[in-house]
Amino acid sequence: MALFDAWKKLKDGLSKTRDSLFGKVAQLVNSKSSIDADFLEKLEEILISADVGAGTTQTIIESIKKRVKQEGYESSGELTHLLKDELARVLQATGDAAPGALLLPEGPRPFVVMVVGVNGAGKTTTIGKLAYNYREAGYSVVVGAADTFRAAANEQLEIWAKRAGVEIIQQAHGADPGAVAFDAVSSAMAKKAEVVIIDTAGRLHTKTNLMEELKKIRRVLEKRLPGAPHEVLLVLDASTGQNALQQVKHFTEAVQVTGLVLTKLDGTAKGGIVLAISHDMQTPVKFVGVGEQIDDLQVFDRAAFVDALFEGTEIAT
Ligand SMILES: Nc1nc2c(ncn2[C@@H]2O[C@H](COP(=O)(O)OP(=O)(O)OP(=O)(O)O)[C@@H](O)[C@H]2O)c(=O)[nH]1
Ligand SMILES: [Mg+2]
């Protein structure tokens, strides 16, 4: 996808968050001329209401306070520049996933990606988009339908595989998900495919037996191909709010999550959760979903994200 289109989708996808967050910030700036204690208290409320999270908000407010004092900012109009800076700083905390191209890291093939998350987070859709992106980047891809729990899961992944132009490995509904994962990797090895993406059934992070099943799928992958899975992506619905942090914690304990995908950013005014996750969690956000179409998945680019959040607002810098 052309870079310009990607930028437009990100910008449009973040419009609800931007309108809610900066609509309120602009109002605040217009209603008060100086950055005083009352101003900062109101700013704090705005950030919390956008799901930026209590700890993250505290960090941002403290830092703004310090800079106002040290660097002598007085007028509320200057806040814009400070805020953008501070949001960018929070996002940098989890390091940078190379923005732009979707390239596999060096190493053995196939590169095995296991995709996990709670029910309806957007796993299967993300797999469709991811498979498409990898194929567009020139890789051969196999997807494994290891959600054998939900009746229509196979059909749904099949539709996505067809759209993405990649191969799908599946078994009957109710089959052992570990067996499907095993087959998918075996098939990719036999055909010398470069990427395998394993779909799994949605599950609540608090259900012990279901988390055990997920661990088992991971063990099967490891056994079939030592070193696999090379990536474990946890898919989070951006509108879930602070519960996303609990999901990261529990799924990481169970299957060693290596990256996060934040979906449905386009449908929520609570995109501030990206900041809470970057501030509180060690695991980087690697992709964001900004729509339901096949080209609506983007590599998470921190700088572009902050730019998109400020784009077109009165306070753009
Ligand atoms: N607007 C929007 N919708 C999305 C996005 N990603 C997924 N969806 C929608 O979210 C719904 C659930 O997506 P699925 O991919 O089926 O979610 P899942 O995690 O596989 O669900 P289970 O397998 O049932 O646990 C679908 O209607 C998707 O179209 C996104 O980035 N933006
Ligand atoms: Mg699914």
317 residues of the chain, pLDDT tens digit each: 566 788 899 999 999 998 888 788 888 888 888 888 999 999 999 999 889 999 999 999 999 999 999 988 888 888 888 899 999 999 887 655 555 557 888 889 999 999 999 999 999 999 999 999 999 999 999 999 999 999 899 999 999 999 999 999 999 999 999 999 999 999 999 999 999 999 999 999 999 999 999 999 999 999 999 999 999 999 999 999 899 999 999 999 999 999 999 999 999 988 999 999 999 998 999 999 999 999 999 999 888 899 898 887 654 44
Q: The tokens of 72 are what? A: 């002598």
- Taking the centre of ligand 1 as the mean of its atom positions, its distance from the CA of residue 21, in whole angstroms, is 25
Q: The tokens of 242 are what? A: 């602070």
φ, ψ at 240 (rounded to 5°): -70, -15
In order of 90, 116, 177, 311, the CA distances from 148 in angstroms are 39, 14, 6, 43
Ligand 1 lining (C-beta closer than 6 Å): 117, 119-125, 147, 150, 153, 202, 235, 263-264, 266-267, 289-292, 296
Query: How long is the chain?
Result: 317
Please name the residue ranges forming H helices in 52-197: 54-71, 79-92, 123-136, 153-164, 177-191
Distance of alpha carbon 75 from alpha carbon 207, whole angstroms: 51
CB 217 within 8 A of CB 178: yes
Q: The tokens of 170 are what? A: 């599946």
In order of 24, 32, 42, 53, 60, the CA distances from 47 in angstroms are 10, 17, 9, 8, 9
Query: Ligand 1 pocket: which of 292, 293, 299 to mutate (most atoms <8 Å of CB)?
Result: 292
* Model confidence, pTM: 0.94
